[in-house]
Amino acid sequence: MMNCRRYIFELTSGRLQEADLGTRAQARLHRMICVHCRAFTRNDAQLSEVLDAWRERTVRGDEAEPTDRPPR
């Protein structure tokens, strides 16, 4: 049975989108029984929208001037 750690990895890595039917069924079942993973999944979907807006804003150049901050 899929636990929270495995479910969250499948979701956040992007593997779940390409997973086979069996894995997706396990993930759906896990989501049904786990309130925290359901919350994380909703937040992750909202995070995708936030990142889309962040990318648009970066490409539009709405933010501050460049600095000499070193890369991460």
Name which of 16, 32, 23 is nearest 2 in CA terms. 23
**Number of residues in contact with another protein under rule CB under 8 A:** 40
Q: How far apart are CA 47 and CA 42, in angstroms?
A: 9
Q: Which is nearer to another protein, 21 or 59 (CB)?
A: 59
In the region spanning residues 26 to 55, those forming contacts with another protein, defined by CB under 8 A, are 36-40, 42-44, 46-47, 49-51, 53-55
Contact residues: another protein, CB under 8 A? 3-6, 8-9, 12-15, 36-40, 42-44, 46-47, 49-51, 53-55, 57-61, 63-66, 68-72
